[in-house]
C-alpha cells in the first residue's frame, strides 16, 4: 500500500489542528492595545503548542520519507497519533486560560505524553511494515530523544501539583530539545 | 477521469470533519481536574466518532486503490457520502451532551445508517465505472460487513426508545467489527 | 506554471468551505427528536449550499482537467472565485435562520450571482492562458448553462422582495440544472 | 529532502487561514438587508486580509517553484511564516470590529510586518539550501518589493496613533503593489 494518501491525510489533519488552535485567541473586548495584555498567557500557550505540532509534522515528515510500505496497523497507529494531537487545541486553550493552574498544566502534559507514546507506536508499526530492510530502524538508532521525552512529560505531570511553572518549563525545554531536526534520518536520506 | 483529485478532496473534507468534532470539547469552566469529569460523555462520543471517521477514511482509501476510472456518478456518490459524514460532528455533539437520551442516540444511529448506505452506493458507482474488469467487484466478494452494518444501525435506532445504552453498544461493536482493515482488498492490491 | 498546486489549494479551500457550513447546525437545546424540527430550514439551506459547492468543485475539476497552462491572471481569477465561495457559509446561515425572509434570500442569490460571474472570469482567463490551442474553448461551446445561470440568479434576487419562495425555487432549479456533469468536457477528456 | 510535502502542508494551512477568517462575519441579528450595514467594516477588513493571504500563497507558490532543495532550517522558517499568517484571522477580526481605532490598526500592521520579515527569512533559508546554483537568488534580484514592504508596514504602525486611516491606506496600497505577480520569477520558470 502506498504512503502518499497517508501523508496527505496526516498533513491535512495536522494543518487543521495547528490552525484551529488560533481560534482560542478570542477578539479582545476593548480597542486599546492594553486589551491584548490578558491574552498573553493564551498566546504563549498557543506558541508552545504551535511549536509542538510543528515538531510532530517535521518528524512525521522525516520518518515517512525513509519508509517504503504502510501496513493496516500503521494506518491505525497513525490515526491514534492524530487523535492525541487533535486534543492539543483543547488542552492549549485550557492551560492558556488558567495560566499556572495545576489541573490544566497536568492535562496539557498528559496529552503530550500520550502523543509521544502514540508516535513511538507508529514508529514501531512502520519498522515492522518495512521488515528486515527497514531504513527507519537504522535511522533511529538508540533514539534517546524519543525515549527521554515521555519520561520528561511524566516528571512534568507529576510536578504540576507542587510547582506548575516547573512542569511548564520542562514542556518548553523538551520542545527546544526537539527543535533540532533529526540529523540521523537526514543522513540516511542523503545517502 | 483521474481519481487523484477525488482522493485529495475527500481526504481534505474527512480531515476537517475528524478535526472540527474536537471543537465540541469546550474549555471547562473551572481549573481543577474535576472540571473534566462532566466532559467524559462528550469525550467518549468524540472517540467513537473519531474511530468511525477513521474507518471510513481507511475503507475509502482501500476501495479507491483498486479502482481505475471515476465517473460523474461516482463523483456525486462520493459527495453524497461526504454529506452524511459532515453531519457526524452535529450528532456527536448532541449525543455527547445528552448521554443516554433516546433522541440524540437515534439521530446518531440514523446518520451512521445513511453514511453506510451512501458508502454502498459509492461502491456500486465505482464498480459500474470500471466496467467488466472491475477489481473492486472481486475484492468485495460477499461483503457481509457492508451488508450487515446498515441492518445493525437500523436495529440500534429502533432500540433507542427502549434502551438507549443497547443502541450505543451496537454502534461500538459495529465499529470494532470494522476496525480490522479489509484483508480482501489488501490481498488484491498485493497481487 | 503547473496547475497542480492551484488544484490542491482550491481543493483545500473548497473542502473547508463545504465543511464549516455544517458548524451553523448548532446543537439543539433539548434532547427530544422534536428539538430537531426548528433546525429544518437551517438543514435545507445547508443541503442546497452543499450541492452548490459540490457543483463548483465538480466543474472546477472538469475545467482544469482540459487546461495545460495557468497564468498569473488565472491564479487571481481563481482566488476571486474562492472569495465568493467563502461567503457561502455566511449567506447559508443567514437564510437558514430566517427562512423565507426577503433580505437573506436576496443576499444568498447575490453571492450565487457573484460566484457565477467569478467562475466565468476564471474560464476566460484559463482560455487566454492556453492560447489558440485551448481545449477548454472548444469544450465549452455555446455554454448556455454558464450564460443562463447569472440571469436566473438575477431574476431570483429581483423577485425576493415580491415572493421570496419563488427566488428560492429558482436557486434550487438552477442547482438541479447543473447537477448533470458537463458531458461536453467529459467527451473532450475521453478523446 | 523533497519539497512536495512542504508545499502540501503550507497549502493546507494557508487554505484554512483564508477560510476561517470568514467565521468572523457573524450572522446578523435582524433579517432586513440593513442588518448588513454594520458588517461593512468587518467585510472590508476580511477582503484586505483575503487579498494578503492570497498574495502570500501566490508568492510562496512562485518562490518554491524555482527551488530544488529544502533544508531543516527552511522547514522551520516556513513554519515561522505560517505562525504569523495564522494570526491574521485574529487581527482581522479585531480591526474589523473596531474600525479606525489605533490599537487594532497597529496590531494588524505589526502582524503584517512580522509576516513580511518571516517571508524574507524563508527566502534566505531556501537560497542557502540550494547553494551556489540557486535559481531563486537570481530570480529575486534587487527585491525592492520585499525590502520596501516591511518599511511601509513600520511607517503604517507608527502612524496609527496619529491618523489610523493613513495606516490602513498604506496597508491597502502595499497589497496593491504586490497584486502584480512576480514577473522576475515567472521569467526564470519560462526559461
Contact with chain C for residue D29, Cβ under 8 A? no
pLDDT (0 to 100) of residue C180: 66
Q: Which residue has the cell 533540532?
A: A180
Rg (CA), chain B: 18
Closest partner residue to A27 (CB to CB) among D76, D79, D94 is D94
- Is C167 within 8 Å of chain D by CB? no
Q: Report chain A's mean pLDDT, rounded to a whole number.
A: 86
Considering only the beta carbons, identify the residue of C89, C94, C97 that sits closest to D22: C89
Q: Which residues of A touch D89 (CB under 8 A)?
A: 22-23
- Are D103 and A22 within 8 A, CB to CB? no
How many angstroms away from the CA of A189 is the closest CA of chain B?
26
How many Å apart are CA D92 and CA D51, to the nearest integer?
12
Residues of chain D neighbouring A44 (CB-CB closer than 8 A): none
Cβ contact, residue pair A31, D98, below 8 Å? yes
* pLDDT confidence bin for A114, thresholds 50/70/90: very high
D37-95 pLDDT, tens digit each: 888 999 999 999 999 999 999 889 888 888 888 888 888 899 999 999 999 999 999 99
What does the pLDDT look like over D142-167, one tens digit per residue? 677 788 899 999 999 999 988 889 99
Q: Measure CB to CB from residue B36 to each of A1, A82, A107 and give the nearest one.
A: A107
Chain C CB contacts of B76 under 8 Å are: 54, 58, 179, 181
The pLDDT of residue A71: 81
Residue D14 has pLDDT above 90, yes or no: yes
Nearest Cα residue in chain D from A6:
D5
Q: In three state form, how does the secondary structure of chain C look?
A: CCCHHHHHHHHHHHHHHHHHHHHHCCCCCCCCHHHHHHHHHHHHHHHHHHHHHHHHHHHHHHHHHCCCCCCHHHHHHHHHHHHHHHCHHHHHHHHHHCCCCHHHHHHHHHHHHHHHHHHHHHHHHHHHHHHHHCHHHHHHCCCHHHHHHHHHHHHHHHHCCCCHHHHHHHHHHHHHHHHCCCHHHHHHHHC
The alpha-helical segments, DSSP class H, found in B21-101 are 40-65, 72-86, 88-97
Contact B57 A9 (CB under 8 A): yes
List CB contacts (< 8 A) between A57 and chain D: 9, 79
User: Per the CB < 8 Å rule, is B14 touching A9?
Assistant: yes
Q: Which of B22, B30, B179 sits opposite A86 (nearest CB)?
A: B22
Nearest CA in chain B to C31: B103
Cα separation, B141 vs A99, whole angstroms = 56
Is a pLDDT exceeding 80 seen at residue D170?
yes
- Tell me if D9 and A14 make a contact (CB, 8 A cut-off): yes
Does the pTM surpass 0.80? The reply is yes
**Does D9 contact chain A (CB < 8 Å)?**
yes
Interface chains of chain C (3 or more CB pairs under 8 Å):
B, D
Helix (H) or strand (E) holding D44: helix D40-65
Q: Is D69 exposed, middle or buried (0-12, 13-18, 19+ CB in 10 A)?
A: middle
- Among partner residues A1, A13, A76, which is closest to B19 by beta-carbon distance? A13
What band does C139 get if pLDDT is binned at 50, 70 and 90?
Answer: confident
Of A22, A57, A189, the CB nearest to D9: A57
Q: Could you tell me which chain C residue has the CA closest to the CA of D50?
A: C83
Express each pLDDT in A153-185 by its tens digit. 999 999 998 888 999 999 999 898 888 655 666
Is A98 within 8 Å of chain B by CB?
yes
Report the residue of B12, B27, B88, B184 to disrupt the A interface, i.e. the one with the largest count of A CBs within 10 Å. Answer: B27
Residues of C in contact with D54 (CB under 8 A): 76, 79
In the block, residue with C-alpha cell 468534532: B21
- First-to-last CA distance in chain B? 24
Which of B131 and D175 is assigned the larger pLDDT? D175
3-state SS of chain A is: CCCHHHHHHHHHHHHHHHHHHHHHCCCCCCCCHHHHHHHHHHHHHHHHHHHHHHHHHHHHHHHHHCCCCCCHHHHHHHHHHHHHHHCHHHHHHHHHHCCCCHHHHHHHHHHHHHHHHHHHHHHHHHHHHHHHHCHHHHHHCCCHHHHHHHHHHHHHHHHCCCCHHHHHHHHHHHHHHHHCCCHHHHHHHHC
Q: Distance (Å, rounded) from C-alpha C152 to C-alpha B146?
A: 42
Residue pair A113/A148 in contact (Cβ under 8 Å)? The answer is no
> In this predicted structure, what is the pLDDT of residue C94?
92
Q: Report CB contact under 8 Å: B20, A24.
A: no
Q: Quick one: closest CA in D to C3, which residue?
A: D61
Confidence category of residue C31, pLDDT binned at 50, 70, 90: confident
Neighbours of chain A (3+ CB pairs under 8 A): B, D
**pLDDT at C65 (0 to 100):** 83
pLDDT tens digits, one per residue of C56-87: 998 898 888 888 888 888 888 999 999 999 99
- The CA distance from B178 to B182, in Å, is 8
Beta carbons of C22 and B94 less than 8 Å apart: no
Amino acid at each position: 500500500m502506498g504512503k502518499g494518501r497517508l501523508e496527505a491525510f496526516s498533513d491535512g489533519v495536522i494543518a487543521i489542528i495547528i490552525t484551529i488552535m488560533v481560534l482560542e485567541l478570542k477578539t479582545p473586548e476593548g480597542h486599546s492595545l492594553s486589551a491584548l495584555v490578558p491574552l498573553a498567557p493564551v498566546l504563549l500557550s498557543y506558541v508552545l503548542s504551535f511549536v509542538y505540532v510543528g515538531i510532530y509534522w517535521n518528524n512525521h515528515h522525516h520518518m515517512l520519507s525513509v519508509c517504503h510500505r504502510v501496513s493496516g496497523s500503521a494506518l491505525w497507529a497513525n490515526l491514534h497519533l492524530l487523535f492525541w494531537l487533535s486534543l492539543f487545541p483543547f488542552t492549549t486553550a485550557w492551560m492558556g486560560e488558567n495560566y499556572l493552574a495545576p489541573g490544566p498544566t497536568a492535562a496539557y502534559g498528559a496529552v503530550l505524553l500520550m502523543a509521544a507514546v502514540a508516535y513511538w507506536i507508529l514508529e514501531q508499526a512502520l519498522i515492522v511494515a518495512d521488515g528486515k530492510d527497514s531504513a527507519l530502524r537504522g535511522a533511529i538508532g538508540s533514539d534517546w530523544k524519543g525515549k527521554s521525552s515521555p519520561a520528561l512529560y511524566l516528571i512534568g505531570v507529576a510536578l504540576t501539583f507542587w510547582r506548575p511553572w516547573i512542569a511548564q518549563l520542562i514542556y518548553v525545554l523538551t520542545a527546544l530539545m526537539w527543535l533540532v531536526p533529526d540529523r540521523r534520518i537526514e543522513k540516511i536520506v542523503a545517502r
